[in-house]
Structure 1
Amino acid sequence: DQLFKCPVAVVRYRTGPFLEERLAFLGHLANEGYTRKSLQNNARDLLAIAHTLVLAGRRRKALTLAEVEFTLADHRRFFPLAVRWLKFLGRLRQRPARLAPWAKKIKAFADYMEHEAGLSPVTIYDRCSYVTRFLDRLSVKGGSLHGITPYRIDMALQKMLEPGGYSRTTIRQWACVLRAFFRFADGRGWCRKGLAESVRAPRVFSQASLPLGPSWDDVRRLLATTEGDQPHNIRARPILMLLAIYGLRRGEVSRLRLEDFDWEHEVFRVVSSKTGRIRTYPLTRSVGDAILRYLQEMRPRSSHRELFLTRRPPSRPLHASLTGLVGDRLRALNVSLPHYGPHALRHACASRLLATGLSLKEIGDQLGHTDPDSTRIYAKVDLVGLREVADFDMGGVL
């Protein structure tokens, strides 16, 4: 009755098969932020799917993907919606995901890191991800690690260093993780003896890790592109501000929740991506206004508590999309950067703070650095500022 006004249409939808199941799924879609028009279209398609299932004699039977595809062979455009609906109802029989042949070994490595090495969950997850992706690159078959040789590891790491690939610093991290894993595997007889010691990391030169981000003038130009009333700009503006003004990491922005903001005291809290510690920041007026506008005008109604959600239904937390959001806008400015992701704005923030005269300790606190060396690297990039300081000092002496 809420979607259709025509009495004939209401009767047709109410007397169709699977009424309760269709209404439950439509209610779920409404909670995900679907518009009235989208709900009407889905209601129409669900009714057609329901009639097809009844005609095929599958009224109460759980179906496999192959059976759904066969039943809807003459109505293929309904297949994605039918799968989502049956999955929502718990009536889709899915085969368990196929585990990688070395999955048990990585699970044992994770247990070792948790119970014996005492590493944090974030570190364990990252290390397991590194190892899994590297074994995928090597195309290890059958789950045995004995076929892995130092030469294969060297060639794989060398290929990852090719133009457009990973930086030397990142490859060095891969090598450290691989050594830890193969040392663990060696102790259990899973790989060749001494394989861990043969993993070589590339040299990282002192100037190779200089963090390069856009200039602050470019950041201003970037924020200027978000002015106006277009929905995608209303959402992009607070995201870019949090990345550039506060220097937050991509994951820290995407994980912000509604309850992280204390509007009465004008502060918000951030959970560090690396340490899990909570940092509290003052909420500036401009950033607060941008967030409030997004909440009031753009954020879809949803059961998700994350601050930033996708614009198109079904609404879900915004994670990987942040990279494209930042990268597309930076490239549109025609600025030359080694990387165009959210971390470039973190570098811009650090360089800006250094230029305004903040100490490295203060900058490290702002960025959430626990290692002073992580902040000290920014002292190498502000050459103009250092020359001005030198000229001033020399002038005073002379």
Structure 2
Amino acid sequence: MSTAASASDQLLVIARPDLNQRLTQWLDHLGEERRLADKTLVAYERDVRQFLRFLTDHLGGAPGVADLADLKPSDFRAFMARRRQSGAQSRSLARGLAGIRSFLGFLERRGEVNAAASSAVRPPRQGKSLPKPVSASDAMEIVSSDLALEAEPWVEARNAAVLTLLYGCGLRISEALSLTASQAPEPESRTLKIRGKGGKERIVPLLPAVGQAVATYLKLCPHAVSGNGPLFVGVRGGPLNPRLVQRAMEKMRSALGLPASATPHALRHSFASHLLAGGGDLRTIQELLGHASLSSTQIYTEIDSARLLDAYDRAHPRHRS
């Protein structure tokens, strides 16, 4: 059963048949045509389900397509207020509204509703949460395979290879773990093709250290790694679970005395932040990270500015006097 079909089955009790059919079509559209990840589909389905539950109570019965067509901005504000009362934070409210708008936009393109009412509602303002990169020296220690934190040397080398990909290429952990054996970078390789969010492909440059880390892991790995099988494997030879990489990072945090913000994903932030500090331009960093919008990359300029201001405060004679 597809993710979309499974999701729509859960909506049967809170939507009329015509609306349930549209939900199935919308989820299929997101999954098959827009190629959204399963986790994103589940989040969208959950957000719309919450909205329909609210409407069932708000309207006095399970809603159909015609009911959505009659909604006013006040209905959406009432939903947001209900969610806020139940403890939902601004980020969750904004994501939920985005999912609802996506569904209504889908219906609007079919000529069945007018989505203007939802567009008239502003999402709640969110406080900015800046990424927390680790320092260059800490990053180099993290990707080292000399910490001896694992019982098996090949597991130590595997963890180092994965983390080197995150810091050396700015990969998401899912991107690194989705690499197949045939895609394994070699020490002399200079580029790597990555399939990122939404199935979008990008080319990232490779440092020799990245290829060398992967080569060391493959030399020590006791399992057969070849062809279209996963490049990174667990102790039983199956695909490596990302949770194991996170646990490896937890051990490193403890050994190196690093803060809880030093996560595998922080290495991706460090990649971008250190490139920017070294003179890299935002457009190039955007392409390397696979960001769809430059606004997602611009947040690293705020990190760099904050670092400069902190250095200024600590170093300027008037501040120390």
Q: Which residue of 2 aligns with 1:42?
A: none
Aligned counterparts of 2:21 and 2:253: Cα–Cα separation in 1: 43
Q: Which residue of 1 aligns with 2:43?
A: 130
Q: Which residue of 1 aligns with 2:35?
A: 121
TM (normalized to structure 1)?
A: 0.56
Is the 2:180–2:231 contact (alpha carbons within 8 Å) kept by the matching residues of 1? yes
Is the 1:322–1:342 contact (alpha carbons within 8 Å) kept by the matching residues of 2? no
Deviation at 1:185, TM superposition (A): 6.2
Deviation at 1:370, TM superposition (A): 4.2
Question: Which deviations, in whole Å up to 9, do the C-alpha atoms of 1:190-227 show, x marking residues without a partner?
Answer: 99x9874586522135xx14222222232233234754
TM (normalized to structure 2)?
A: 0.68
> Identity over aligned residues, as a percent?
25
* RMSD over equivalenced CA pairs, Å: 4.3
Number of equivalenced pairs: 280
Q: Which residue of 2 aligns with 1:239?
A: 162
Secondary structure of 1:382's aligned partner: helix
Aligned counterparts of 1:126 and 1:246: Cα–Cα separation in 2: 24
Aligned counterparts of 2:109 and 2:28: Cα–Cα separation in 1: 15
Is the 1:272–1:368 contact (alpha carbons within 8 Å) kept by the matching residues of 2? no
Q: Give unmatched runs, 5+ long, in structure 2.
A: 1-5, 13-19, 69-74, 313-321
Q: Which residue of 2 aligns with 1:156?
A: 83
Is the 1:211–1:347 contact (alpha carbons within 8 Å) kept by the matching residues of 2? yes
Aligned counterparts of 1:267 and 1:105: Cα–Cα separation in 2: 47
Q: 1:112 to 1:286 in 2, by over 3 A?
A: closer
Output the amino acid matched with 2:10: A
Q: Which residue of 2 aligns with 1:298?
A: 221
1:369 is the counterpart of 2:279: no
Output the amino acid matched with 1:121: R
Output the amino acid matched with 2:36: V
Q: Which residue of 2 aligns with 1:253?
A: 176
Output the amino acid matched with 2:173: R
Secondary structure of 1:271's aligned partner: strand
Secondary structure of 2:36's aligned partner: helix
Is the 1:249–1:343 contact (alpha carbons within 8 Å) kept by the matching residues of 2? yes
Deviation at 1:345, TM superposition (A): 1.3
Is the 1:179–1:196 contact (alpha carbons within 8 Å) kept by the matching residues of 2? yes
Is the 1:354–1:379 contact (alpha carbons within 8 Å) kept by the matching residues of 2? yes
Aligned counterparts of 2:145 and 2:87: Cα–Cα separation in 1: 35
Is the 1:169–1:204 contact (alpha carbons within 8 Å) kept by the matching residues of 2? yes
Q: Which residue of 2 aligns with 1:5?
A: none
Q: 1:157 to 1:233 in 2, by over 3 A?
A: farther
The correspondence of residues 158-173 of structure 1 with structure 2, limited to 5 A, is 161-162=88-89, 168-169=90-91, 171-173=93-95
Aligned counterparts of 2:257 and 2:88: Cα–Cα separation in 1: 26
Q: Which residue of 1 aligns with 2:277?
A: 355
Q: 1:145 to 1:317 in 2, by over 3 A?
A: farther
Q: Which residue of 2 aligns with 1:64?
A: none
Is the 1:226–1:237 contact (alpha carbons within 8 Å) kept by the matching residues of 2? no
Aligned counterparts of 1:158 and 1:385: Cα–Cα separation in 2: 40
Q: Which residue of 1 aligns with 2:319?
A: none
Q: Give unmatched runs, 5+ long, in structure 1.
A: 1-96, 163-167, 390-398
Secondary structure of 2:193's aligned partner: strand
Q: Which residue of 1 aligns with 2:235?
A: 311
Secondary structure of 1:281's aligned partner: strand
Deviation at 1:328, TM superposition (A): 1.9
Question: Which deviations, in whole Å up to 9, do the C-alpha atoms of 1:306-352 show, x marking residues without a partner?
Answer: 2112223xx33224425633652464244335x55432111111111
1:221 is the counterpart of 2:221: no
